[in-house]
Amino acid sequence: MDSLRRRGYAYAIGAFEFADNIRLNILDVLKPYETPPDISRNAKGLQGKLCIITGGNAGIGKAFAEAAFRHGAHIILACRSRSRGAAAAKAIEQSIATGEGNVEVRELDLASLASVQRFAHAINAERRHVDILVCNAGIMAPSQRSETSDGFENQFQVNYLGHWLLAYELFRGQDQGSEMQQRSRAGMRSAPEGKKEQLDAQGNFAGARRLIFLSSMTHRAGHLDFSNLQLERGYTGFQGYANSKLATLLAAKEWNRRFRACDSTRQDISVAVHPGLVDTELARGWLTGADVSGIQLQPVVAPLARMLAPWLLISTKRAVDQLMLAATGPPLQVAGQYIAHGKPRRPSSEAEDAFLAKKLWSITCQLTSLQEGHGH
């Protein structure tokens, strides 16, 4: 009964969001959408920063990469297909002649934990400081349950587990080699009195990192049953997607708690973002597939969905601004928050459960064969 109630609530919110998207799209026809001035102003802080974007070869990931590149960021597109990533990188560089950064492509398959570790170790071996990690890549509600080569349900691993491990390996490796961590252990508090850490215009400490997880309003239908975490029983594509997005939101909250607990002056932060129901191939594929609670409605829904998609789904420009707020907004405004519709919002009660987040962290360590207890 609880499952039906959560699902019904999520569907109701989804229907409301579709209706609001229609309103926004009508407004965009009357007057084209413009990025809010504060987001444009804060985006200037991307100059010279290194930003890794998973799934950056298409959809929201590519659109955000273009925006960040335009503001002078150095971009790494972390893609399963190196050829598609290379095509996206070329398109970004050619479309934005004023970009002051550069775009490179690295192979990353989130469905393989070994691939995730190779990617992170290669970045850390180059001693490059990652300023922003955008965990964007994902799978959306496939009708048939399948498993990765590691033995996990596909959505759970690609949307959540692979991203969690990527963040863990990247940040742990960077912390182990960072001078700041060594200074912290040696006792930074003995520094000359009155000396303060450098802050930028947005209130970020020098070297501060941002970890951004893409979640979804569908997290409200999610429920983590640790005895059936891989949905071996009762699988539906929608439930698997909702559970993975609840897990990413819990992870964002727990990462931020652990960042705050670290003995570091860097003030790293983690943020979860619901970018909206966005006009991408992923969303259109879900609309036309129409797997709702295991019921295949494609013959009925697909033609209608194709016709209505431009009105039901918002532009990538609006979605990018959600991500830009998470990536460059004032830390006190966005740290540990769930960003949706342009501002921090309250997620589901389960997503706010700190005990559940800690339990998920512990189980995730076990699933990825890591020892719990690292500073993060």
Label residues 285-301 b or e (16+ Cβ within 10 Å = b).
ebbebbbbeeeeeeeeb
Between CA 40 and CA 246 the distance in angstroms is 30
The letter for the amino acid at 110 is L
Q: Distance between terminal CA atoms of the chain?
A: 37
Catalytic, 11? Answer: no
Among 162, 143, 175, 152, smallest CA distance to 54 is for: 162
Strand, coil or helix: 214: strand
Catalytic residue among 160, 168, 241, 338: 241
Alpha helix segments (H runs only) across the chain = 2-30, 37-43, 59-70, 82-95, 113-125, 154-155, 162-177, 179-186, 237-261, 281-289, 298-312, 316-328, 331-334, 354-367
Between CA 293 and CA 310 the distance in angstroms is 24
Q: What angle do CA 285, 288, 291 make, to 5 degrees?
A: 90
Locate tokens 């907004």: which residue? Answer: 329
Write out the catalytic residue numbers. Answer: 241
